Structure 1
């Protein structure tokens, strides 16, 4: 074993020093990023270790991998310094997702079954109904409620039993920003328009019945395929681990992120059932965000696995030629 190395500990933001932060720390060739966080937290007076963000001194890049060895961080060893930043109060990613996904579940159960008689009489006074004479929910509205709630119940299940997170926590204050998308856009926004009397979702015709069936088929295919993709991704990382791997298998020969592709297919099914511009708006916003994530994922895979990873031209939506090639077995 190599002799211990002493690193200078400095604040990432000099104008915001961390109280009781030690000025130096000793590391060995087996010291990980998490070990440094634990030691700093203890010596600083019992802080939450996850509040500390560690940065290398040259480019001030965050050391994200909590299991990475400090001895393998060249700029840290050459400068014999590590930078520390207080990231603020933290929440585990499991807690974050449970909070985010619970919003739409609660809202899509409250709106149609408890709040509907009062909500639309107050907000849509021109409707020719009293609070006690609203028409019953249509088949499409009931189906929409079921598949949207099941979608987020599935996400809760995956959070608890499938996903393996590389980062342990997220800053507490980000929960409000992240939850806005789910609680408002896929929660209150969708629910208000979907369950409204007189909405397109409330129509019951032979055409809407066919759209419901097609939508349900697309939804089931998308959700099952999305679940399968998440299981595949979870197997790339050991329990509690942070290692990455090259994803292969169903869908991965076609696009970078087939989980996002199948997510959009499932929501296309929801769109056919709801027939609502509110659903379409939610899908557009979700696609833009997922596309940003998919581009980052493609870049990260090409950088980390330049030889093993087969570059993808399409990140979420495949082109016709790529789809034909995949279905014919030319792309694996």
Structure 2
């Protein structure tokens, strides 16, 4: 099977906008039914070693080609042209719109969740350095610290032992953007607002009934377990070393496409209610906005990719949205 690879915006009749590398002709052994997008990416990488698969964005007939999918899914035939979307034309030369240096998703997750573990421990144990005086922690603060540390330790465990990633890497620059949310908002901001004198032992804000105390902790723990259950379900859908995508079923998935996100929000809502901290509520609101966008995007992708996808499922909030 022979395919032609051209950069985005390529014009065969415009000599000033041609590249010495493109159009690129690749030969593949097989048919559209037996070949996958991965085969195309590997062959491009063989001929243009600088552009490893994770740096390639391929499209055909305005459809993004997803790794792991058969070429026949996109009606690609022998002799067709595929667009290499990493390239943009700039004046008289072809310039690379770089995805840039890459870093593994697992590494990204580990770095993201490590920051809050450090910041929560620092603010909790070094109160004299942070607040100018020693803070005698209340039962509320002790429990909040255990909840926060348990959450991020669970996330580290999941990143190392549970998650299977469809994409091997992401641009290195994104690790700084993603880490801001967890290190600064989920780490420094929450820790500063929760472990300070305002909620210390003996203060009125630290007082609550035993029923409310254990109810919030119970909801938090159940939500964390639900979150992990969803992650395990998603892991089991994808055999090791593959990018297979299937319709998920199981606890939570009967109502929403992303129950892992739903349980995540429930956990942080319980944490915010428990601490009554402005910092915890701010983190919850920001997280809700970002998670909602992710959930809607994944929900639409499921419905687009699987014609038989359950129509009664919502993206994030059962029966609502």
State TM-score, norm by structure 2: 0.83
Q: What do the CA deviations read for 1:190-239 (whole angstroms, capped 9, x no partner)?
A: 01111111248974665254432111111111111111111112111111
List alignment gaps of at least 5 residues for structure 1: 122-130, 323-332
Q: What residue in structure 2 maps to residue 273 of structure 1?
A: 274
1:227-238 alignment runs, 5 A limit: 227-238=228-239
Per mean C-alpha deviation after superposition, the further-off stretch among 187-196 and 20-29 is 20-29
Q: What residue in structure 2 maps to residue 73 of structure 1?
A: 74
Q: Give the Cα–Cα distance (whole angstroms) in 2 for the partners of residues 174 and 36 of structure 1.
A: 26
Q: What do the CA deviations read for 1:130-164 (whole angstroms, capped 9, x no partner)?
A: x4xx2312111121111111101111111122122
Q: What residue in structure 1 maps to residue 146 of structure 2?
A: 146
Per mean C-alpha deviation after superposition, the further-off stretch among 234-243 and 202-211 is 202-211
> Aligned residue pairs: how many?
301
Q: What residue in structure 1 maps to residue 64 of structure 2?
A: 62
1:116-265 alignment runs, 5 A limit: 116-121=127-132, 131=133, 134-199=134-199, 203=203, 207=208, 209-265=210-266
CA contact (8 A) 2:44 2:51 kept: no
Q: What do the CA deviations read for 1:237-283 (whole angstroms, capped 9, x no partner)?
A: 11122222222222222223222222122222212332212111111
Q: 1:311 to 1:49 in 2, by over 3 A?
A: same
- Is 2:43 aligned against 1:43? no
Q: 1:42 to 1:169 in 2, by over 3 A?
A: same
Shift in Å, 1:54: 3.2
Q: 1:284 to 1:200 in 2, by over 3 A?
A: farther
Q: 1:135 to 1:302 in 2, by over 3 A?
A: closer
Q: What residue in structure 1 maps to residue 102 of structure 2?
A: 90
List alignment gaps of at least 5 residues for structure 2: 11-15, 87-97
1:280-295 alignment runs, 5 A limit: 280-295=281-296
Superposition RMSD in Å? 2.9
Q: 1:304 to 1:69 in 2, by over 3 A?
A: closer
- Is 2:4 aligned against 1:8? yes
Query: Which 4+ runs in 1 deviate beyond 4 A?
Result: 13-22, 75-78
CA contact (8 A) 1:229 1:259 kept: yes
CA contact (8 A) 2:216 2:271 kept: yes
